[in-house]
């Protein structure tokens, strides 16, 4: 009986149990440290994305909200037609206000309306200020390619590749139904600034 007690005491006091416990603790600490570094790297990536145009190759789906009015970029009456009027309208849940931004891997994006699959297009590839912006079937042309350029206030301008001009709500109008055009980019025009929602 005394031998059994002695044997039991010996098992409980064995150093390998304690060493094994320390090894597990070290592995857990390393895992926590690695997880912490991964989270830090992800945060840095998110900050980088926040300070520049979205850099992901995967398409991004978003609403585009005008800074000056708080209204969303909208295809009028949810039209499916080529040449349909693009305007600002109060934001609500509808596919004709949802846009897919698809990276072209050259710093530019195709911007297509979810309800129609058609692209944001400067009519007739015009270079002029005030040129009409519409939806049109997507094809390989620079008047359907847009660069998102970050402003210091966190908003973006959308710059047409073919002209270097910005997407603008006509004349800074704040009302529903105001059309969008391309216009020379200016730093003091909040009606050229957009936020992704």
Domains annotated on the chain, with CATH: 60-196 (2.80.10.50)
How high is the pLDDT of residue 42? Answer: 28
Backbone CA torsion sign across 173, 178, 184, 187:
positive
Quote the mean pLDDT of the chain: 80
How high is the pLDDT of residue 87? Answer: 98
Asked whether residue 17 carries a pLDDT value surpassing 90, the answer given is no
The structure's pTM equals 0.72
- How many other C-beta atoms are found inside a 10 Å radius of the C-beta of residue 87? 22
CB 181, CB 174: distance < 8 Å: no
CB 144, CB 119: distance < 8 Å: yes
CB 191, CB 151: distance < 8 Å: no
pLDDT tens-place string over residues 48-103: 333 344 455 689 999 999 999 999 999 999 999 999 999 999 999 999 999 999 99
């Amino acid at each position: 009986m005394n031998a059994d007690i002695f044997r039991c005491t010996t098992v409980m006091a064995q150093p390998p149990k304690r060493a094994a416990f320390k090894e597990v603790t070290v592995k857990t600490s390393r895992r926590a440290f690695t997880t912490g570094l991964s989270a830090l790297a992800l945060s840095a990536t998110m900050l980088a994305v926040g300070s520049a145009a979205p850099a992901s190759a995967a398409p991004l789906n978003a609403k585009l909200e005008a800074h000056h009015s708080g209204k969303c970029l909208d295809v009028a009456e949810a039209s499916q037609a080529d040449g349909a009027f693009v305007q600002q309208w109060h934001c609500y849940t509808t596919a004709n206000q949802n846009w897919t931004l698809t990276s072209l891997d050259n710093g530019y994006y195709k911007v297509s309306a979810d309800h129609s699959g058609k692209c944001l297009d400067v009519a007739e590839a015009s270079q002029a200020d005030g040129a009409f912006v519409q939806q049109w079937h997507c094809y390989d042309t620079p008047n359907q390619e847009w660069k998102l350029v970050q402003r210091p206030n966190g908003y973006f301008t959308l710059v047409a590749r073919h002209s270097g001009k910005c997407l603008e709500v006509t004349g800074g109008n704040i009302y529903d139904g105001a059309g969008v055009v391309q216009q020379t980019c200016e730093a003091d025009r909040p009606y050229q600034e957009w936020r992704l929602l």
